[in-house]
Structure 1
Amino acid sequence: MEPRAHHVIIGLFTVLAVSAALVFALWLGKSSADREWAYYQIGFDHPISGLSEGNPVLYSGVPVGEVLELTLDPANPSHVRVLVRVDKEVPIRKDTHAGLILANITGSMSVQFRGGTSESPVLEGNRNNPPLITADPSAFSSLLTNGEALIEKTEILLTNANNLFSEKNLENMASILENTRSATDSLLAQRAELLALMEQFDAAGVRAEEAAIKVSSVSDNANAILLEKVTPVLSSMDRALSTLQPALARLDNLTRNNEGALDAGLQGLGELTPAIRELRSALRNLNQFATRLEANPAGTLLGGSNIKEVEQ
């Protein structure tokens, strides 16, 4: 009797569980059918791998709908159009942003709406003519795209590395290293000669430095002589010539003004002639001294060798 009662209880529990599941499914279907939906089309200009029909649509992380259809843009097959439905009570505005987010670690993606201000008008999501919302770039998709590009570049780098370390290049590198080693051994063998040559260069540099010091000293001495002895003499001669010039001018005026008296007094010409001759001699000597001083200042002032001209 007891085994039959147990079977009856188990059967009754199973019937009740199935009935509850059917009632829940009917309620859920009725609730879904009773809800009002707004339809939107989201445009993606990049791949949307991981997104499929039935994936949830979120608004700031809260489920508000689902993905209905995925199609390619007829004008540009590289773009994707995703038709979604959203609870009509959720306001989707013109400044609302849409994008993809990672749903789980398996790579499944979800559509998510975010943003939208109360001042922006609400988009009317008609099923027959759903408004188009341009999706924002997906960080995850960009990461996948950049990862693929990085993998391609890594593959190219590895290929170039393999080409670099080919057998021919390795032989060339070995030959270069062998030549470098031979050149190094040759330099080491001639180390004594190189050291002697460097010492000679060092000694030549020292001598050149000493010669430069001597030349600088001679130049300083010559400059000092010119400044201390020649310059004062030239200044004195310039002052003497400046003083003599007015006297010669007065003498010229005197002779010009008294030309008649000089012609009349020929008896005084004999006394004036020696004085004029001496003055001319003095001027001639002064002119010769100035010429020698200009040609050889140091020799003239310091008493250099006197060179006499030989009359021909």
Structure 2
Amino acid sequence: MEPKAHHVIIGLFTLAVVSAALLFALWLGKSSADREWAYYQIGFDHPVSGLTKGNPVLYSGIQVGDVLDLTLAPENPANVRVLVRVHKEIPVRVNTKAGLVLANITGSMSIQFTGGTPESPILEGDRENPPLITAEPSTLSNLLNNGEAMLSQAEQLLTNMNRLLATENVENITVLLRNTREATDSLLANRDTLIELLAKFDSAAVRAEEAAIKVSGVSDNTRSVLNDRVVPVLNAMDVALSTLQPSLERVDKITSSNEHALDAGLQGLSQLDPALRELRRTLRNLNAFTRRLEQDPSGTLWGGTTIKEFEQ
């Protein structure tokens, strides 16, 4: 009888535990059914891999609802519409933002609401006409969606690296490195010559600088001479020319007003030329007579030869 009593106690305890669990589940279901919900539709213009029905809806990291349905947009199958329900008391506002976040390491995704200022009006959402909230693309979703393109680019990069490291290219690179090493060794072998050449260049640069300084000094001296001596002379010449200008103008005026008198005077001068020639001839004869008189006074006075005329 004693073993049977133990089995009865165990059976009663098991029945009590199952009944309590059923009652708790019924209470939880009734509590969930009695809770008021607000319904919203989240619009995605990119794939939503990892998001399924029942996934949680978060607000600033705290679960406030879950995903009810996922459908493609009728007007554009590239877009996705996700119907979610959120606790009625959670204030989802017009400027509240929605996006995808990673739920766990298995790749499951959740929808998260963020933002929303108190000044913005609250979105009233019901099951029959849920308001549309456009989701913002997240960095993680972009990374997952662009993973295939990144892998393709990585594959292309590896292919190009393989081409670059082909046998011919490796041999060319080896030759190039060998030539570079030989050139470096040659430079090191002629290091003293290069140092001496650089020293000569440095000395030439110093002399060029000194010559430039001297040229600059000569230029300064030339400028000083021009300013101190040439410029005053030019200024004096300018003053003299400005002073002479009125005299030249008066001479030109006198010349123009006495043009006829000057012409007559020039004609008179042309008539003086024959008289001047006769006068010179007479003076030559007188000179000859005077010399002969000094040499032979008696012969000249008392019957000597006649005086000859000397033509010029």
TM-score, structure 1 as length reference: 0.57
Report how many residues are paired. 264
- Cα distance in structure 1, aligned partners of 2:101 and 2:77: 23
Match of 1:11, SS state, is helix
Q: Give the conservation status (yes or no) of the 8 Å contact 1:67–1:84.
A: yes
TM-superposed CA distance for 1:12, in Å, is 1.1
Matched with 2:134 is 135
Q: Distance in 2 between matches of 1:155 and 1:42?
A: 36
Superposed, 1:137-152 pairs within 5 Å as 137-139=136-138, 140-145=140-145, 150-152=150-152
* 1:65 paired residue number: 65
Task: Find the aligned partners of 2:78 and 2:110 in 1 and give their Cα distance.
Answer: 20
Structure 1 gap ranges (5+) = 271-312
Q: Which amino acid aligns with 2:142?
A: S
Please say if 1:55 is aligned against 2:55: yes
Are 1:119 and 2:121 matched, yes or no? yes
Show the counterpart of 2:166. Answer: 166
- Compared with structure 1, are the counterparts of its residues 234 and 98 closer, same or farther at alpha carbon in structure 2 (3 Å cutoff)? closer
Task: Tell whether the 8 Å contact from 1:92 to 1:123 is kept in structure 2 after alignment.
Answer: no
**C-alpha separation between the residues in 2 aligned to 1:211 and 1:217?**
10
Distance 1:93 1:221 in 2: 85
Distance of aligned partners of 1:237 and 1:194 in 2 relative to their CA distance in 1, 3 Å threshold: same
Give 3-state SS (helix, strand or coil) of 2:101's partner: strand
2:284 corresponds to: none
Shift of 1:178: 3.6
The answer to whether the 8 A contact 1:98-1:133 is kept is no
Aligned mates of 1:243, 1:189 — CA distance in 2: 80
Question: Cα gap change, 1:231/1:177 in structure 2, threshold over 3 Å: closer, same or farther?
Answer: same
Q: CA RMSD in A?
A: 5.3
Distance 2:94 2:78 in 1: 25
Contact 1:44 1:80 in 2 (8 A): yes
Decide whether the 8 Å contact of 1:98 with 1:136 is kept in 2. yes
Question: Within 2, Cα distance between the matches of 1:87 and 1:8?
Answer: 45
- Cα separation, partners in 2 of 1:5 and 1:171, compared to 1, 3 Å: same
Amino acid at match of 2:167: E
* 1:281 equivalent in structure 2: none
* Structure 2 equivalent of residue 22 of structure 1: 22
Contact 2:41 2:81 (C-alpha < 8 Å) held by counterparts: yes
Shift of 1:16: 0.2
CA distance, structure 2, for counterparts of residue 112 and residue 160 of structure 1: 42
Name the % identity.
60
Distance 2:59 2:221 in 1: 97
Unaligned 5+ runs, structure 2: 273-312
Amino acid at match of 2:158: L
CA–CA separation in structure 2 for the residues paired with 1:239 and 1:113: 95
Cα offsets for 1:215-243 (capped at 9, x unmatched): 99999999999999999999999999999
User: What is the aligned partner in structure 1 of residue 76 from structure 2?
Assistant: 76
Cα 1:33–1:233 shift into 2, 3 Å: closer
Preserved CA contact (<8 Å) 1:65 1:86: yes
CA separation in 2, counterparts of 1:133 and 1:88? 17
Matched residue, 1:12: 12
DSSP 3-state at the match of 1:177: helix
47-56 or 91-100, larger mean C-alpha shift: 91-100
Determine if contact 1:98/1:135 at 8 Å carries over to the other structure. Answer: yes
Scaled by the length of structure 2, the TM-score of the pair is: 0.57
Go from structure 1 to structure 2 and tell me whether the alpha carbon gap of 1:226 and 1:170 turns closer, same or farther (over 3 Å shift).
Answer: same
Q: Return the letter of the residue paired with 2:24.
A: F
Contact 2:53 2:68 in 1 (8 A): yes
Contact 1:38/1:85, CA 8 A, preserved across alignment: yes
Alignment check: 8 A CA contact 1:57 1:65 kept: yes
Q: Distance in 1 between matches of 2:21 and 2:216?
A: 115
Aligned pairs for 1:248-287 (under 5 A) are none
Report the alpha carbon displacement of residue 171 of structure 1 after superposing the two structures with TM: 0.9
The letter for the 1-side match of 2:133 is T
Q: Distance in 1 between matches of 2:246 and 2:96?
A: 107
**Pairing 1:281-296 to 2, within 5 Å after superposition:** none
Q: Shift of the alpha carbon at 1:119? A: 3.4
Instruction: Report deviation, 1:42.
Output: 1.4
User: Alpha carbons of 1:6 and 1:174: their partners in 2 closer, same or farther (altered >3 Å)?
Assistant: same
Aligned to 1:99: 99
Match of 2:175 in 1: 175
SS across alignment from 1:18: helix
